[in-house]
Amino acid sequence: MELDALLLSRLQFAFTVAFHILFPAFTIGLAAFLAVLEGLWLWTKRDAFKVLYLFWVKIFALSFGMGVVSGVVLSYQFGTNWSEFIRLTGGVIGPLLAYEVLTAFFLEASFLGVMLFGWKKVGPKLHFLATVLVAVGTTLSAFWILSANSWMQTPQGFQIMADGTLEATDFMQVIFNPSLPTRLAHMLLAAFLTTGLVVGAASAYQVLKERAKGTVTGWTESRIALVMAVGLVAVLAPLQLVAGHASGVVTHEYQPAKTAAIEGYWESRADQPLHLFGIPDRDAQKNHFEVSIPGIGNAIQGLPRETVIKGLNEWPREDQPPPFIPFFGFRIMVGLGLLMIGLGATGAFLIWRRKLFETPWFLRFCVVMGPSGFIAVLAGWMVTEVGRQPWVVQGVLKTRDAVSPVTTGEVATSLIAYILVYSVVFTAGALFILRLMAEGPVAGAAEPGPGQDRAPGSPLVKAPADTTPGDA
């Protein structure tokens, strides 16, 4: 492939969106977790919930900040690099993005200030309301961006005008397009699972540390958080399998080429096999080193055996999605999803037998699974976005016709600039977060003693230890 503005713009979009998605994937769930913790604290008046809130809100502040700044990049990148996409489809997709700003971004940004810095300025109930509104904002944001992206997968409710631009004929059809419900459910569950796995890993690490010290008994903060996280994964991971399957059914109906790429099907036929492994080869139009189970491919799609499932060679080569990334991305995502189900089920069993804190191998498994939500989210997004190629709006506008009239030099410059800036920001941010996690909620929540360098802007300082609910 030629290294032109198109390819570089695609690489840049992939890089910046992949970086960005990590933060919403984490903060959507974390905002809700914080709202639950603060609600539990107000309700039960147990200090442990406050300690946990104050600990996780610091990690939230760091992650949210990185999410905000990387998100601003995306809202401008539609124009800098994909101006033809906006020129042609802006009349349809634009209002969805505008509604995201109006309903979600202002809500999140404004109440985040109160959430982080308002402890002594507003009462506990108002503070709780701020936390809840931030959580609502993150979810609304997910709704609108998923609506816009789902419309790109399953466009409807529009017409193409004489000058080539698109106009909506029915905005309700645009917003509530066929793939929105399943994809939104799939993404929100993914976000909650990602948070659950991170909270679980950080807490399991602390429980392991407590074990090493010995003599720790009772409900420590980390133990409470671990049970909450494992419980969440136990419930949501199986649900995610259902949501993912439902999303796959919609994909097969509207984007059969994507399904073919995911499954590694080249030939259309009834009674497709299930390919567990293979190396899809576009030039040869077949898979190498296939490991397959015959006779169950249709059942996996929820289809009768005699239904014909299309293979990639139904489409001319230039209209086929490149199958390598969808094929492997899907297997990575599903593999991790199954491990999550295993984690949840085992954890639930151990909680029931009251052995959770006495099973070191499981605690270590929780630690190892910490980043698995992020990896699954990234893999899943690559599946769905690469699987839509060569289209940017399925069946309507090709990616190569969506790019801006900018020079290769400009895009190369910006790509290098983003890589440099993001490397510094991501490394620093990840380090701060991991350092906090290593310290744990108890050490992290302790007030710095006199003479110690306290962090003046940190959320922690806003809620000194003597703050109790009811004391305004």
Partner 1 sequence: MLDLPLIWAGLIATAVLLYVTLDGFDLGIGILFPFAKSKEDRDVMMNTVAPVWDGNETWLVLGGGGLLAAFPLAYSVLMPAFYLPIVLMLAGLILRGVAFEFRFRARNRGRKFWTQMFATGSIVTALSQGLILGGFIQGVTVENDRFAGGPFDWFTPYTLLVAAGIVAGYALLGGAWLMMKTRDNLHSDARRWTLISSAAVGGLLAAVSVATLLVHPRIALRWGFDTSAAMAIDWAALAPLLAIPALGLAGFGVVVVMARRGSHHWPFVGALLVFLSGYIGLAASFMPYVVPYAFDFRQAAAPENALGLMLVGTVLILPAILGYTAWVYWVFRGKVDTESGYHH
44 binds partner 1 (CB under 8 A): no
With CB under 8 A as the contact rule, the residue among 109, 270, 338, 368 that binds partner 1 is 109
CA atoms within 13 A on the CB side of 50: 20
59: left (phi over 0), alpha (psi -120 to 50) or beta: alpha
Alpha-carbon gap, residue 85 to 201, rounded angstroms:
41
386 binds partner 1 (CB under 8 A): no
Residues in region 150-169 near partner 1 by CB under 8 A: 165, 167-168
111 binds partner 1 (CB under 8 A): yes
With CB under 8 A as the contact rule, the residue among 39, 110, 173, 282 that binds partner 1 is 110
Alpha-carbon gap, residue 46 to 148, rounded angstroms:
42
Alpha-carbon gap, residue 361 to 324, rounded angstroms:
35
Residues in region 182-211 near partner 1 by CB under 8 A: none
Per-residue string for binding with partner 1, 119-148, x by CB under 8 A?
xxxx--------------------------
Cα dihedral across residues 355, 360, 365, 368: positive or negative? positive
> What are the counts of helices (DSSP H) followed by strands (DSSP E) for the chain?
14, 8
105 binds partner 1 (CB under 8 A): yes
Distances (CA, A) of 212 to 208, 356, 436: 6, 15, 19
Q: Candidates 296-304, 315-323, 376-384, 461-469 — which segment interacts with partner 1 by CB under 8 A?
A: 461-469
Nearer to partner 1, 157 or 335 (CB): 157
First to last CA, the chain: 63
112 binds partner 1 (CB under 8 A): yes
270 binds partner 1 (CB under 8 A): no
106 binds partner 1 (CB under 8 A): yes
With CB under 8 A as the contact rule, the residue among 141, 147, 153, 414 that binds partner 1 is 414
Q: Strand 308-309 relative to strand 391-393: parallel, antiparallel, unpaired?
A: unpaired
**Residue 140 contacts residue 97 (beta carbons within 8 Å):** no
Alpha-carbon gap, residue 242 to 121, rounded angstroms:
44
20 binds partner 1 (CB under 8 A): no
449 binds partner 1 (CB under 8 A): no
With CB under 8 A as the contact rule, the residue among 322, 371, 429, 469 that binds partner 1 is 429
With CB under 8 A as the contact rule, the residue among 360, 409, 448, 470 that binds partner 1 is 409
How many residues line the site for partner 1 (CB under 8 A)? 77
406 binds partner 1 (CB under 8 A): yes
471 binds partner 1 (CB under 8 A): no
Smallest gap, in angstroms, from Cβ of residue 169 to partner 1?
A: 8
What's the one-letter identity of residue 67?
Answer: G
Nearer to partner 1, 35 or 116 (CB): 116
Per-residue string for binding with partner 1, 324-363, x by CB under 8 A?
----------------------------------------
Write the CB contacts of 217 (distance below 8 Å, at least 6 apart in sequence). Answer: none
432 binds partner 1 (CB under 8 A): yes
417 binds partner 1 (CB under 8 A): yes
Alpha-carbon gap, residue 30 to 195, rounded angstroms:
6
Q: Tell me the β-bridge partners of 288.
A: 279
Residues in region 45-104 near partner 1 by CB under 8 A: 61-62, 65-66, 68-73, 75-76, 78-80, 83-84, 86-87, 90-92, 94-95, 97-103
239 binds partner 1 (CB under 8 A): no
27 binds partner 1 (CB under 8 A): no
Alpha-carbon gap, residue 73 to 67, rounded angstroms:
10
SS3 260: helix
SS3 294: coil
Alpha-carbon gap, residue 98 to 355, rounded angstroms:
50
Nearer to partner 1, 127 or 183 (CB): 127
Nearer to partner 1, 111 or 265 (CB): 111
Distances (CA, A) of 425 to 20, 139, 370, 430, 460: 12, 25, 21, 8, 22
Smallest gap, in angstroms, from Cβ of residue 398 to partner 1?
A: 17
SS3 281: strand
453: left (phi over 0), alpha (psi -120 to 50) or beta: beta
Smallest gap, in angstroms, from Cβ of residue 321 to partner 1?
A: 26
Smallest gap, in angstroms, from Cβ of residue 436 to partner 1?
A: 8
Nearer to partner 1, 165 or 468 (CB): 165
Nearer to partner 1, 348 or 396 (CB): 396
Record the tokens describing residue 152, joined without a space. 């790109």
Q: Candidates 113-121, 210-218, 325-333, 337-345 — which segment interacts with partner 1 by CB under 8 A?
A: 113-121
